[in-house]
Amino acid sequence: MSKMEIKLFRLLLVINIALTIALVAISVYAFTRAGFSSFAEEAPEVKKVATGITDFSFVALAAAISVAGSTIASGIALNAVASAGFAAVAERPELRSFLLILSGLAEGIAIYGILMGVIILGRI
């Protein structure tokens, strides 16, 4: 495996870590925003649930779940692509470009999850 391919897979790993950090940030934002009781007074369209959690926290939690699910699925897909791809490249080196295309498709899963999280948060 060449140095360029190793750099590419490191970049994909960094992207997965960044998406996981985004998940944590969205979750922290949701639960800190839900903890403030003055938020419901500032925005009358937000209803309070009996437990003291606002409707906004459920929206933020839905966005966080979409990001979490997509990053986990992307990691699983990338694991399968990388393990099978390295074995295939060891036998037939001309399959390297095919391996890179498939790993990019696996990362697309995480990008779609981030996109859904942004769309969900944009509907507030």
Domain carrying residue 57? 3-122
User: What is each CA distance from 1 to 7, 80, 114, 121, in whole angstroms?
Assistant: 11, 17, 30, 41
Alpha helices in 1-124 (DSSP H): 3-35, 38-42, 55-91, 96-122
**Mean pLDDT, the chain, integer:** 77
Tell me the pLDDT tens digit for each residue of 70-105.
888 888 888 888 888 888 988 998 988 888 888 888
Structure tokens at 67: 């990001």
pLDDT of residue 38: 46
Provide the greatest CA pair distance for the chain. 65
pLDDT of residue 39: 45
Mean pLDDT of 26-40: 60
- The whole-model pTM stands at 0.56
Q: How many structural domains does the chain have?
A: 1
